[in-house]
């Protein structure tokens, strides 16, 4: 049986466009959610990345009706 490689694992950090694509929203709205503190971001030097689990947590909060701000 073949062992899974490290490259077969899903990324734990997403670029802003990747997070936007995963959420099916635009980059601008993604930046707005980050600025409002609704979507967690990790800075590595000048690079901003969104943890994959933060995307899932955001969706879970929205599904539970606990979203900050108005619905879009």
- Is 47 a member of any domain? yes
The domain total for the chain is: 1
**Residue 39 contacts residue 68 (beta carbons within 8 Å):** no
- Is 4 a member of any domain? no
pLDDT at site 7: 76
- Is 59 a member of any domain? yes
Separation between Cα atoms, residue 72 and residue 3, nearest integer Å: 43
**Residue 1 CB-half CA count within 13 A:** 2
Q: What is the extent of the structural domain holding 55?
A: 11-64
Query: Along the 72 residues of the chain, how does pLDDT read in single tens digits?
Result: 677 676 778 889 999 999 999 999 999 999 999 999 999 999 999 999 999 999 999 999 999 996 555 554
- Is 21 a member of any domain? yes
- Is 3 a member of any domain? no
**Strand, helix or coil for residue 11:** coil
- Is 51 a member of any domain? yes
């Amino acid at each position: 049986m073949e062992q899974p490689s490290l490259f077969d694992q899903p990324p734990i950090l997403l670029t802003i466009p990747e997070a936007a694509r995963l959420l099916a929203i635009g980059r601008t709205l993604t930046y707005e959610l980050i600025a409002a503190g609704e979507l967690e971001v990790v800075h590595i030097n000048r690079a901003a990345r969104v943890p994959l689990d933060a995307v899932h947590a955001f969706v879970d909060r929205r599904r539970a009706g606990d979203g900050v701000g108005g619905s879009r």
